[in-house]
């Protein structure tokens, strides 16, 4: 099981590749010859750049001037870098633990569910997609506008089953005569008596919610024992005069109009407007009334979570990353699981252990070395996370979601050209890696 683990771990020191101990000088030469290409490429692409970066971090941004630790001082004073470090800490706290737990969960599940191979493929496939492409996909899914972002569209669809959307979701009152707000319903400011005519003018109705067969709005005649009125789109090209029913302004049919008693606010009657917008309440007792359009008419569909806003952006990134890495953890853990001696589990069960006890006391401890491999790999992977952040986060919000690797790139390149500062960030990142690298190397040694 450990061989599966260590072979997938990145950045394994070349020491592990050394063949079994040779017995003579000749063999030394041979092994060196075999190692030479690896040493050459490591030197060109790893060791030399690393040394140059370290040296560069002590020089000014333009180069030439030795500035001691100035770049490092600037680094720790920089607000955005502080945000980046804070975000990296969140990443390190959440992702490795989350990935390991998910991997364990999926690995155990795949041993028990039918269709396990299909399930495994579904979890593993994201790992085969380039992280940058993953980022592009999630960025689109995270869009706030439900017409563009799949996640919010899904939430809206589910929510639409339980709540009803109003007929006029964007409408606003055309004059101050209608008080209240679309969210709480609109009420005509003035009280209305028998024989009165109520004019309910609305504007800002979006194209899809206008009547399909528009009819000219008509102000109805007053009736002696009732209240009449019209609800209409108080707008015609150019604007028109607000508050007046004019030629070319259309009636809004099917709107629920409520009549409330002015004294106690109770709803006395309610009716629905005709296609020309007119409505009438008849046979009313004498008294003061208020005419209102209930808030149901205006109830908006859910507007969607602001996934890419300041508050949710880091969680959104973490979800995308977990989605990718869960497959990796599952495969490693499943391999480890398969290597656990069955008789051990059987023995525990015959001794009367419950499933949970077997899992807690046998499976997890047996898997521990594998879980640690996953954990350490993830910590290293998360410390250097870059492409996902760059591809998901809109440039306008980069400062709040940034991580150290992104800052290193931003400062060094992308026009800022602060090479000294960027080199200092790189070196700082490398220092962060050291404990985990040491941990990994020690573990390899133990296993050997």
Partner 1 sequence: MREANGVMRKHRWLLVLALLVAALALLAAGCGGDDDEEAEPAATTEEATTEAAEDVTGSIKIAGLWTGGEGDSFKAVLAGFSEKYPDVKVTYQPAGEDLPTILATGVEGGNPPDLASLSSPGVIKSFVDKGALQPIDFAIDALKENYSEGFVNLTTFDGKTYGVVFKGANKSTVWYNTQAFEDAGVEAPTTWDELLEAGDTLKASGVTPYSVGAAEGWTLTDLFENVYLRTAGGEKYDQLAAHEIPWTDPSVKDALTEMAKIFQSDNIAGGTSSALQTDFPTSVTQVFTDPPKAAMVMGGDFVGTFITTETKAKIGEDADVFTFPSINDSPPVVVGAGDSIVMFKDSPAARAMVSYLASPEAAELWAKRGGFSSPNKNLDEAAYPDDITRKLASELAQAETFRFDLSDLQPAVLNDALFAELANFVKNPDDIDGVTGKLEAAAKKAYK
Q: Give the nearest distance from C-beta 4 to partner 1 in angstroms.
A: 23
Q: How near is the Cβ of 397 to partner 1 at its closest, in Å?
A: 7
Question: CA 167 to CA 255: how far, in whole Å?
Answer: 8
Would you say 96 or 146 has its CB closer to partner 1?
Answer: 146
Nearer to partner 1, 4 or 203 (CB): 203
Min separation Cβ 349 and partner 1, Å: 37
Residues near 240 by beta carbon (within 8 Å), at least 6 away in sequence: 234, 246, 248, 249
Residue 29, Cβ density class (10 Å: 0-12 exposed, 13-18 middle, ≥19 buried): exposed
Q: Which is nearer to partner 1, 132 or 359 (CB)?
A: 132
How many other C-beta atoms can be found within 10 angstroms of the C-beta atom of residue 234? 28
Task: Output the smallest distance, CB 417 to partner 1, in A.
Answer: 5
Minimum distance, C-beta of residue 299 to partner 1, in the bound complex (Å)? 17
Least distance (Å) between residue 259 CB and partner 1: 27
Q: Please state the closest distance from residue 389 (CB atom) to partner 1, in A.
A: 15
CB closer to partner 1, 12 vs 345: 12
| Smaller CB separation from partner 1, 51 or 129 | 51
Closest distance of CB 157 from partner 1, Å: 18
Residue 281 to residue 268: CA distance in whole angstroms: 10
- Beta carbon of residue 309, minimum distance to partner 1 (angstroms, whole number): 6
Residue 265, strand partner residues: none
Q: Which is nearer to partner 1, 269 or 399 (CB)?
A: 399
Least distance to partner 1, CB of residue 251, Å: 16
350 or 396, CB closer to partner 1? Answer: 396
Compute the distance between CA of residue 423 and CA of residue 57 in angstroms, rounded to an integer.
Answer: 5
Per CB under 8 A, residues contacting partner 1 are 14-15, 18, 21-22, 28, 31-32, 35-36, 39-40, 42-44, 47-48, 51-52, 62-63, 143-145, 148, 170, 174, 203-210, 235-239, 303, 306, 308-309, 394-399, 410, 413-419
SS3 letters for the chain? CHHHHHHHCCCCCHHHHCCCCCCCHHHHHHHHHHHHHHHHHHHHHHHHHHHHHHHHCCECCCCCCECCCHHHHHHHHCHHHHHHHHHHHHHHHHHHHHHHHHHHHHHHHHCCCCCHHHHHHHHHHHHHCCHHHHHHHHHHHCCCCCCCCHHHHHHHHHHHHHCCCCCCCCCEECCCCEEEECCCEEEECCCECCCCEEEEEEECCCHHHCCCCCCECCCCCCCCCCEEEEEEECCCCCCCCCCCCCCCCEECCCCEEEEEECCCCCEEEEEECCCCCEEEECCCCCCCEEEEECHHHHCCCCCCCCCCCCCCHHHHHHHHHHHHHHHHHHHHHHHHHHHCCHHHHHHHHHCCCCHHHHHHHHHHHHHHHHHHHHHHHHHHHHHCCCHHHHHHCCHHHHHHHCCHHHHHHHHHCCCCCCHHHHHHHHHHHHHHHHHHHHHHHHHHHHHC
- The least distance separating partner 1 from the CB of residue 67, rounded to whole angstroms, comes to 14
Which CB, 282 or 447, lies closer to partner 1? 447
Nearer to partner 1, 178 or 205 (CB): 205
Nearer to partner 1, 170 or 270 (CB): 170
Nearer Cβ to partner 1 (303/354): 303
CA dist list (Å): 256 to 217, 251, 298, 379, 405:
16, 13, 11, 59, 57
């Amino acid at each position: 099981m450990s061989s599966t683990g260590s072979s997938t771990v990145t950045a394994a020191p070349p020491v592990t590749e050394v063949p079994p101990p040779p017995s003579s000088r000749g063999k030394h030469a041979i092994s060196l010859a075999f190692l030479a290409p690896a040493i050459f490429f490591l030197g060109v692409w790893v060791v030399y750049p690393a040394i140059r970066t370290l040296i560069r971090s002590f020089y000014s941004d333009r180069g030439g001037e030795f500035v001691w630790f100035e770049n490092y001082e600037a680094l720790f004073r920089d607000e955005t870098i502080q945000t980046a470090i804070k975000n990296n800490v969140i990443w390190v706290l959440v992702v490795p633990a989350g990935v390991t737990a998910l991997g364990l969960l999926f690995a155990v599940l795949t041993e028990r569910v039918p269709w396990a191979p299909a399930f495994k493929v579904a979890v593993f496939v994201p790992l085969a997609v380039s992280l940058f492409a993953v980022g592009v996909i999630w960025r689109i899914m995270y869009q706030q506008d439900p017409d563009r972002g799949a996640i919010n569209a899904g939430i809206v669809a589910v929510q639409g089953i339980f709540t009803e959307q109003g007929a006029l979701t964007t409408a606003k009152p055309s004059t101050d005569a209608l008080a209240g707000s679309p969210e709480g319903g609109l009420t005509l400011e003035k009280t209305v008596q028998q024989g009165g005519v109520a004019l309910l003018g609305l504007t800002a109705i979006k194209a899809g919610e206008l009547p399909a067969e528009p009819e000219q709005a008509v102000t109805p005649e007053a009736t002696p024992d009732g209240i009449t009125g019209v609800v209409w789109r108080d707008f015609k090209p150019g604007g028109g005069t607000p508050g007046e029913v004019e030629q070319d302004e259309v009636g809004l049919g099917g709107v629920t109009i409520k009549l409330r008693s002015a004294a106690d606010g109770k709803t006395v009657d309610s009716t629905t407007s005709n296609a020309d917008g007119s409505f009438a309440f008849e046979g009313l007792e004498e008294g003061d009334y208020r005419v209102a359009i209930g808030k149901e008419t205006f109830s908006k569909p859910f507007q969607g979570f602001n996934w890419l806003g300041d508050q949710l952006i880091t969680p959104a990134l973490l979800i995308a990353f977990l989605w990718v890495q869960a497959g990796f953890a599952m495969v490693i853990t499943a391999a480890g699981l398969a290597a656990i001696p069955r008789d051990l589990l059987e023995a525990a069960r015959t001794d009367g252990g419950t499933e949970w006890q077997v899992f807690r006391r046998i499976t997890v401890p047996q898997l521990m070395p594998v879980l640690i491999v996953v954990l350490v790999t993830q910590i290293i992977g998360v410390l250097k996370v870059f492409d996902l952040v760059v591809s998901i986060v809109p440039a306008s919000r980069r400062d709040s979601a940034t991580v150290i690797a992104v800052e290193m790139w931003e400062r060094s390149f992308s026009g800022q050209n602060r090479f000294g500062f960027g080199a200092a960030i790189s070196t700082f990142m490398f220092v962060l890696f050291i404990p985990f690298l040491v941990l990994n190397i020690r573990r390899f040694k133990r296993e050997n």
